[in-house]
Amino acid sequence: MRTRVNPGRVVAWACLIVLMLLTLFPFYWMIRTALSNNTQLAGHPGSLLPVETTLGAFKRVLGLSTVAEAQAQGGSGASVNFWLYLRNSLVVATVTTVCQVFFSAMAAYAFARLRWPGRDKVFALFLAALMVPPIFTTLPNFVLIKNLGLLNSFAGIILPSAFMTPFAIFFLRQFFLGISRELEEAAMIDGAGHRRIFFGMIIPMSAAPITTLAILTYINSWNDYFWPLLVGQQEQVRVLTVALGIFRSQTPQGSPDWAGLMAATLIAALPMILLFLAFARRITNSIGFSGIK
């Protein structure tokens, strides 16, 4: 086929570029606003560049400016403990990811590589849990966590998702199924037990899908709002998403600290944006999998 400039292709490219700009613009606007001086923002709402470029909003959010400075720039002056929330998000997302991926991998091994009576039925039961909408289990889980005295603790936030998700098990099982049995047999003849096979063979051979799953789990956990909102309201365990919601409701209704708010959202989103930049190929390629198997 000859490649030639055909009008259809030009229009199609134009559409795609417009859609990509539409996708990226809010990110740009977040940066533009975060770098602006909040008191001047209202005067130049349409300016495509930051208004009176300053790092004031970031300083304000990170608690690096005094109350007087913050108020002068249109901030509320209320202290925002961003480093603490950042740490909390790190703790929650990291522990959740490590535990969930590891335990799910163990379960996936049992479902993919071991033979035992009732295996497929148990697996079907695990999968069926995907059907239950989260809110339905969230209410009783809240009661349970409350009764266990774990409200406002990291354990309370992490526990429900620490052991497994049906999706994680399903995802890893698919990959474990594909590993050839001969290798396993050979290892067994050499005297390897299941523990050695699991840690020494299956896990290293599945490093790629395990990494992908870990990244997806990390992003989900970092972005989660509902559960930490219910269980982790208190400051010492408050994660970034919950903090952002509170920050938003605390900003004065008349002239909100938009620059500060955007600086805060940017800082909250930045780790995930960086993670995505580092693993873009892996993440985008995994999307098709979750649907098409």
Token pair of 18 as six digits: 């417009």
Question: Are the C-beta atoms of residues 162 and 103 closer than 8 Å to each other?
Answer: yes
Write down the number of H helices and E strands in the chain. Answer: 16, 0
Under rule CB under 8 A, residue 22 binds another protein: yes
Query: What is the number of other CB atoms lying within 10 angstroms of the CB of residue 22?
Result: 9
**Rounded-to-integer distance, Cα 75 and Cα 70, Å:** 5
Q: Tell me if 23 contacts another protein by CB under 8 A.
A: yes
Distance, in Å, from the CA atom of 26 to the CA atom of 282, rounded to the nearest integer, reads: 24
Contact 100, 168 (CB under 8 A): yes
What CA–CA distances, in Å, run from 1 to 4, 5, 105, 216? 9, 13, 47, 40
Residue 194 Cβ, how far from another protein at the closest point, in Å?
A: 5
Positions 263 through 282 that interact with another protein (CB under 8 A): 265, 268-269, 272-273, 275-276, 280-281
> Is residue 230 at the binding interface for another protein, with CB under 8 A as the rule?
yes
CB of 66 to another protein, least distance (A): 25
Tokens 């613009």 — which residue? 25
| Among 39, 65, 198, 210, interactor with another protein by CB under 8 A | 198
78 binds another protein (CB under 8 A): no
- Member of 7, 26, 191, 204 binding another protein (CB under 8 A): 26
In the region spanning residues 48 to 77, those forming contacts with another protein, defined by CB under 8 A, are none
Is 191 a residue that touches another protein (CB under 8 A)? no
Q: Which is nearer to another protein, 55 or 143 (CB)?
A: 143
**Is residue 64 within 8 Å of 215, Cβ to Cβ?**
no
- Asked whether position 261 contacts another protein by CB under 8 A, the answer is yes
Residue span binding another protein (CB under 8 A) among the ranges 52-60, 69-77, 131-139, 204-212: 131-139
Whichever of 11 and 67 has its CB closer to another protein, that residue is 11
Binding residues with another protein: total (CB under 8 A): 97
